[in-house]
Amino acid sequence: MPISGAQALAIGGSLSAAAALAHAACVVVGAPAYRFMGAGEKMARAAEARKLQPMLVTLAITGVLFVWAAYAFSGAGAIGRLPFTKLALSAICTVYLGRAVAFPLLKPAFPENSPTFWLVSSGICLAIGLLHLYGLIAQWPAL
């Protein structure tokens, strides 16, 4: 049985929220979580040294992912309509799908990230991006 557009956006939003929580866990747990998530030894050592950069970068990503989850839930009708929902969901979908396929171009800028990190995170971005795309197309008239 196929899922509805609202269901796809709700699932995508839930996955964005889960990704946000995973990033927040890195801030709380520290270096072992950065290592487990494949963020690279440089980030893990910086977290161990209690430098601000890993925490600030990770909190920024966490915040963005929570906002993206809220827009997906809004598009699904699970929460009230947020401003610019069509535009925001279109941009979110584009970023997720772009991140999924652009990882070969991004890898040189982040040489510390493990191959597992790139494959797993890109696969997750692809799945979430496709859920958003399906949901956005299906929900377009209602948005």
Q: What is the CA radius of gyration of the chain?
A: 16
Average pLDDT, the chain: 96
* Any domain includes 143: no
* Any domain includes 63: yes
pTM score, two decimals?
A: 0.93
Q: Convert the pLDDT of each residue in 32-42 to its tens digit.
A: 999 999 888 99
Predicted pLDDT of residue 113: 86
* Any domain includes 54: yes
* Any domain includes 16: yes
* Any domain includes 18: yes
* Any domain includes 44: yes
Q: Convert the pLDDT of each residue in 24-68 to its tens digit.
A: 999 999 999 999 998 889 999 999 999 999 999 999 999 999 999
For residue 96, the enclosing domain spans: 5-137
In the chain, the number of structural domains is 1
pLDDT at 91 over 90: yes
